[in-house]
Amino acid sequence: MRLSTRRRVFLLALCLVSTGCVHRIHVAPVPTSAPSNTIPRSLQITLSPLALEGPDHRPGITFLDWPHQDLTQGILGYLRQRGTFSSVSQESGDLSLHVAAKLALSSRRGLYHYRVILEADMRDASQLIKSYLTEQTAVGSSIRWVTASDRRPIEAALQLALEDLMGKIETDRLLYLNHVTQPPS
């Protein structure tokens, strides 16, 4: 019985230590400019689960927790503030944007580099209209002692990636204005 109690205490201590060291990421990227072109259509956005790649080039970044819901809310908030589309939600819309996001963390020259990759497919009903790929990097500090050392560069890289993605979509404005779903035959 005594060994069992020691084991429980050890496991509890291990859980407390490991959860206390996890950097829980919360982002709220904001647009730095107004849209170059607006698209007067509603947009539905869906996101795949976030993929993480650590400095050892294996999946998973140790001590980093970026919930899918936070990423989703961050992107929704950004798109709504930018104002490219008449409305943006997770409900159905005239257009549908599916985004797959990946965060890759690497260490070069003593600094951590945070690379956000966004792969996006724009659809009208079930028909693919156009695919986009963007990746942006932000440089962080040489150490990851506190959550802010991860959060700030992740948010900066995500903001740059969203700026790039939306710039590409806004450039294709006429494609989305002229694309009308054909009724089924």
pLDDT-derived band of residue 18, with 50, 70 and 90 as boundaries? very low
Distance CA 53, CA 51 (A): 7
Percent of the chain at pLDDT > 70 equals 76
Percentage of the chain beyond pLDDT 90 is 48
The reply to whether 13 falls in a domain is no
Residue 130 lies in a domain: yes
Q: What is the pLDDT of residues 117-161, one digit of tens each?
A: 999 999 987 789 999 999 999 988 776 665 667 788 999 999 999
- Residue 22 sits at the vertex; the CA angle it makes with 18 and 27, to the nearest 5 degrees, is 165
Query: What range does the domain containing 169 cover?
Result: 23-178
| DSSP symbol at 157 | H
Residue 4 within a domain: no
In a domain, 185, yes or no: no
**Residue among 27, 29, 66 nearest 160 (CA):** 29
User: Does residue 117 lie in a domain region?
Assistant: yes
Q: Distance between CA 120 and CA 17 in Å, rounded?
A: 38
Class of residue 143 by CB neighbours under 10 A (exposed 0-12, middle 13-18, buried 19+) = exposed
